[in-house]
Amino acid sequence: MTAAVRTADAVPFSFEIYPPRSDAATAALHETIRHLADAGPRFISVTYGAGGSTGGRSLELVRHIRETTDVEPLAHLTCVGTTYADAARLIREFLDAGITSFLALRGDPPLGATEDDAFLGDLETAAQLVQLIHRVQAERSPYTECPIPGVPGAARVDRRRKAEISVAAFPNGHPRSRHPHEHIDALLAKQAAGATSAITQLFFHADDYLGFVEQSRAAGVVIPILPGIMPIVSPARLRRVLELTGEQLPTGLAAALDAEPTAEGQRAVGIAHAVELAREVVAGGAPGIHLYAFNHHETVLEVLREAGALVPSELEAAR
Ligand code: FAD
């Protein structure tokens, strides 16, 4: 595969990955990160298991991105089922590791629990987690000391970077919403709490995103809303994401995937669908594209290349 870099006039793009579950998967993911980073994304986000199920591995992965690439790591954090004290401790741990970009989430309840169950813990919504991140950061010294190389004992004093806090947005509503505007009210609450941008749940039609942005703007949401796009490269992947997200079946895409007899053909359908979606939302004014990478670089980089956001790197082109 040819390495590729961002075209000069491309919209910003970013990727989401999740912590690996084994040593073999870790080595493969580090290779994937290298390829994703080479493409010049604005950030790479790392998911966090609700209830702390991936805690240590998420932190390790954001550290790895920070230490081995020039790309900003963005750490997802969830608050479901934790105490204030534990959530504050977790935030401090990430800030201590030099992470200043977060996606503040409530997290899903454990399987079988309902909204009325006592699963939530001290923080009931993502908006409260946004406030807590700002509060924990405000309690820290406003300055950091960076050693000056070659001058023993000397340090340069810099102002700490303020945390950038993204939040989740749901173009087709949250599957557990109790009324049609609850997802927009929740986004307004997160903005009021200090969120600086939003990333959307995946969606299958550009109008879902564009209509949602229009309604959000009319309701007073001013923060950038980044569309989350997932290339659906097989019927099995489609079934799985519908289960996880509660989104409606996209009948056209499902039929096109089912009609393809080979995995290669299905992959081409999924990539073409994601490329079309990316083109349409960008034409409609999206401030960038956030791609769910599923811990593989080939598919998302192909989407960006076909959408015109990437060109082969000079080094590769010269070969
Ligand atoms: P909230 O914004 O707190 O919303 C939860 C519910 O409460 C909604 O029904 C909302 O309408 C309602 N609500 C919110 N605020 C208020 C308020 N002020 N008053 C009344 N009701 C309110 N999950 C993970 O476990 N780990 C991840 O890494 C992860 N990454 C994600 C990334 C993206 C881009 C997205 C879109 C989702 C991600 N999720 C992740 C899933 C997410 O945790 C779930 O969808 C969860 O059920 C809702 O999280 P939230 O942050 O939107 O919660």
pLDDT tens digit sequence for 120-170: 789 989 999 999 999 999 998 777 777 787 888 888 877 777 889 999 999
Flag whether pLDDT at 104 surpasses 80: yes
Q: Which residues line ligand 1 (CB under 6 A)?
A: 47-48, 50, 76, 78, 103, 105-108, 125-127, 168, 174, 176-177, 182-183, 186, 189-190, 199, 201, 228
- Gap from CA of 191 to ligand 1 centroid (Å): 13
pLDDT at 319: 45
Q: Which residue among 125, 200, 209, 244 is best mutated to probe the pocket of ligand 1, counting the most ligand atoms within 8 A of its Cβ?
A: 125
- Identify the residue whose C-alpha is closest to ligand 1 atom 10: 186
DSSP character string of 170-188 = -TT--TT-SSTTHHHHHHH
- Identify the residue whose C-alpha is closest to ligand 1 atom 39: 107
- Identify the residue whose C-alpha is closest to ligand 1 atom 12: 186
Report the distance separating Cα 272 and Cα 160, nearest Å. Answer: 43
Residue ranges of domains in the chain, CATH in brackets = 11-318 (3.20.20.220)
Flag whether pLDDT at 315 surpasses 50: no
- Identify the residue whose C-alpha is closest to ligand 1 atom 42: 107
User: Which range is least confidently modeled, 50-54, 89-93, 130-134, 179-183?
Assistant: 50-54
CA 46, 49, 51, 54 dihedral sign is negative
- Gap from CA of 239 to ligand 1 centroid (Å): 21
**Higher confidence at residue 13 or residue 178?**
13
Q: Tens digits of per-residue pLDDT, 211-257?
A: 999 999 999 999 999 999 999 999 999 999 999 898 999 999 999 99
67-72, long-range: CB < 8 A, 24+ apart: 68/30, 68/33, 68/34, 68/37, 69/33, 69/34, 69/37, 69/44, 70/37, 71/36, 71/37, 71/41, 71/43, 71/44, 72/42, 72/43, 72/44, 72/101
pLDDT at 159: 76
Report residue 158: phi and psi, to 5°. -120, 150
